[in-house]
Structure 1
């Protein structure tokens, strides 16, 4: 089975699970952050063992949909993807896009800036 399919399936399950809580957006952010951290750890483990790796685009998508805090912790704890410059540039861009999207959604929903 392709590792990419497993990652996106877990992401979909996290989305579905977040709807069963009182604060689905907060739960989504918690679940996707935890899942992203674990995916970074699994990718580092796979890199050390020479196994199939998680594609970089998948790691970027996880950060883009809200898991960038888990990605930052995963990068530091596992010392993974900290030196590869093209990835770091795209990663920082995905963080910026996520923050702008969250602020824009908050402004659209509440008619004012949420901070």
Structure 2
């Protein structure tokens, strides 16, 4: 379970570090996507070498937190987690949830300002 803690520590550091940039939201999203891509690559390497794997819930959480473009790139680049049906379904649901949250937040913030 140590790899899981490392993933969450890196995620926390990426989000914390993004606060020191001029555009923390965009920097945070970029860092989360890069980290998600790296985590997918590390999990593929661990699968090939039969090392300790990154739990699927961690991969899904990174996608829900905005890293789904990096996850899609990682899936295609490393050919990882593209055929496993339960994961694929949950991943698509996590992307939909993330997009709905973004749309709701945009409507709440910008929709109220226009009216």
TM-score w.r.t. structure 1 length?
A: 0.94
**Structure 2 counterparts to residues 1-115 of structure 1, below 5 A:** 2-111=2-111
**2 CA distance for matches of 1:11 and 1:109?**
26
Give the aligned length.
113
Name stretches of at least 5 consecutive residues in structure 1 with no aligned partner.
none
Give 5+ residue unaligned stretches, structure 2: none
Q: How large is the RMSD of aligned CA atoms in angstroms?
A: 1.3
Q: Which moved more, 1:48-57 or 1:101-110?
A: 101-110
Deviation of 1:103 after TM superposition, in Å, equals 1.2
4+ runs of 1 displaced by more than 6 Å? none
TM-score normalised by length of structure 2 = 0.94
Structure 2 CA distance for aligned equivalents of residues 14 and 106 of structure 1: 23
